[in-house]
Structure 1
Amino acid sequence: MSERTHIFIYSKHDESSLQKKSILTEMISKQGFNTVDDADSANIIVSLGGDGSFLQAVRKTGFRQDCLYAGISTTGSLGMYCDFHFHDMETVIQAVQHAEIEVRRYPILQVIVDDNPPFYCLNEFSIRSNIIKTFVLDVEIDGLHFETFRGDGMIIATPTGSTAYNKSVNGAVVDPLLPCFQVSELASVNSNKYRTLGSSFILSGQRQLTLRLQQDGNDYPTMGMDNESLSIQHVESVKIELSDRIVKTVKLKNNSFWEKVKRTYL
């Protein structure tokens, strides 16, 4: 960490967040770090807020591969991405000074909608009907037809994203050390005509998932990438796979993924 001294702080622009950002800037400057106004000049990117702010920080700075990300919670509790409390920054500084931190590597999804450029998701990609009507997806794995889905939509989650939207629809919680992604259904309709697995399934990071929308007039879906929406007028297919990119985050040695899961849910 000694060679990483240029820090960009991402925060909301309300008065409370900006005040905390000012306090944090002064605090880390006293420890020999430099704060920068341009994220491209940073080698450490810090988010202030909750997990949503962390996701925004990663997305707004372009899923940087050459820097570390750190989440500092200002909500009073730690999240799945925020390893540090704003009101306990002295502990964080001591941990940095005594090398009591580690680097965690999170896999991310690459999503290509039709012929558009790829975009990336740290938590999940979701696709849902945009009107009060089910829609139909042909699901392919590595180019082979697997099932035909009819229902409200699907969630494709990374291991870290498995604890979010995916978990709320009874998807499995997956260890982020496993390079994979998970597919979960939203209100599937099973009949003689449409038949799905009926449960979440996990694909290796070497697989490619393709969702083809049947062109029946309901081909303008709502698509979510983490906590942002993607609006495309007409969709024919979506290709999803695990990216060769990763997000590197700073963690305390005594704060593993499963300790976070236990603290959050048990």
Structure 2
Amino acid sequence: MKVAVYCKQANNAQDVADKLVEKLKANKITIDRERPDIVVTVGGDGTLLSAFQYYQTQLENVRFIGVHTGHLGFYTDWRDYELDELILAIKADNGECVGYPILDIDVTMVGETTPIRYHAVNESTIKKVSSTLVADVYFKDRFFERFRGDGLCISTPTGSTAYNRSLGGAVVHPQLEVLQMAEIASINNRVFRTLGASIILAPDEWITLRPAHGGDFNFTADQVNIFDAPIEQIKYRIGEQKINFAKYRHTDFWGRVRNAFIGDGNEV
């Protein structure tokens, strides 16, 4: 068993990470940051998303565990005061995991023929830098609508609880390996019309966005941010791979949703 400990310099995350590394070594568990079997992230959900980007080329072989140093996160099952229990769980590891869908995103820049591939656990967005975004939307290469507004958000099922939810999109269980597109402040009047609702696409469908009037755009894929990019086309589909979490006491999806947004204050 090879374990990597991944953290950011925030709050007491580094101190917790150092303690975890000491405990792993004391229990004769190999530390390997480059080719791990398990990646333990210490911090919050943002740290886990950053670790996903770092290890995205090793998804077939890596499972993730999240340790939170603040409030319990959506992807983090362990607290910073539970390191000893976590060590015991790692030592008893049997290889079980639970997988969540991710986005495969192909971005083609103006004048280029080969797209750049990105991945996202939560969502990807496109916005115009200094004016309204105008983009043609295609589903499975069939034209659907011309969007006008601040931007568009494409999310995974687990990402449906993040930015998508704040935009009024639906919360989707990750066993439904679907895409969801939510509008960001769309313009709807007598002249310009969009569907005006979030749209959920089947697993075998894909979304293509083609900015209509050129210019530079802001593109995100989780924590990846590209500013002032001359984007010609973006294609989204559910990825062939998943992000896998070690199944020690991995909270079920609806338990995560309840913990994140409802808590225990609404008991009857």
Shorter-chain TM-score above 0.5 = yes
- Structure-1 separation of matches of 2:137 and 2:208: 6
% same residue = 31
Does the 8 A contact of 1:162 with 1:174 survive in 2? yes
**Where does residue 69 of structure 1 map in the other structure?**
64
For residues 102-121 of structure 1, what are the structure 2 equivalents within 5 Å?
102-114=96-108, 115-121=114-120
Distance 1:166 1:15, change over 3 A: closer
Does the 8 A contact of 1:95 with 1:101 survive in 2? no
User: Which of 205, 208, 226 is the equivalent residue of 1:207?
Assistant: 205
Q: CA deviation at 1:98?
A: 5.4
Does the 8 A contact of 2:102 with 2:243 survive in 1? yes
Q: CA deviation at 1:63?
A: 4.6
For residues 52-131 of structure 1, what are the structure 2 equivalents within 5 Å?
52-64=46-58, 65-75=60-70, 77-97=71-91, 102-114=96-108, 115-131=114-130
1:231 maps to a residue whose letter is F
User: Which of 35, 38, 48 is the equivalent residue of 2:42?
Assistant: 48
**Where does residue 26 of structure 1 map in the other structure?**
22
User: Structure 1 residues 6-15 or 170-179, which shifts more?
Assistant: 6-15
Superposed CA offset, 1:176-200 (max 9, x none): 1111111000011112332111110
Q: TM-score, normalised on structure 1?
A: 0.90
Does the 8 A contact of 1:159 with 1:178 survive in 2? yes
For residues 228-247 of structure 1, what are the structure 2 equivalents within 5 Å?
228-231=224-227, 233-247=229-243
User: Which of 146, 152, 170 is the equivalent residue of 2:150?
Assistant: 152
For residues 215-230 of structure 1, what are the structure 2 equivalents within 5 Å?
215=213, 217=214, 219-230=215-226
Does the 8 A contact of 2:218 with 2:229 survive in 1? no
2:259 maps to a residue whose letter is R
Superposed CA offset, 1:122-172 (max 9, x none): 1100111211x2121111001111111100001000011111111111111
Q: CA deviation at 1:102?
A: 4.5
Does the 8 A contact of 2:2 with 2:36 survive in 1? yes
Does the 8 A contact of 2:137 with 2:143 survive in 1? yes
Q: CA deviation at 1:73?
A: 0.8
Does the 8 A contact of 1:112 with 1:240 survive in 2? yes
Distance 1:193 1:237, change over 3 A: farther
**Where does residue 162 of structure 1 map in the other structure?**
160
Q: CA deviation at 1:246?
A: 0.9
Does the 8 A contact of 2:39 with 2:63 survive in 1? yes
Q: CA deviation at 1:21?
A: 1.6
2:75 maps to a residue whose letter is Y
Q: TM-score, normalised on structure 2?
A: 0.89
1:181 maps to a residue whose letter is L
Indicate the SS of the match to 2:77.
strand
The number of equivalent residue pairs is 256
1:162 maps to a residue whose letter is S
1:61 maps to a residue whose letter is Y
2:198 maps to a residue whose letter is S
CA RMSD, 1 decimal: 1.9
Superposed CA offset, 1:65-88 (max 9, x none): 21111111111x221111111211
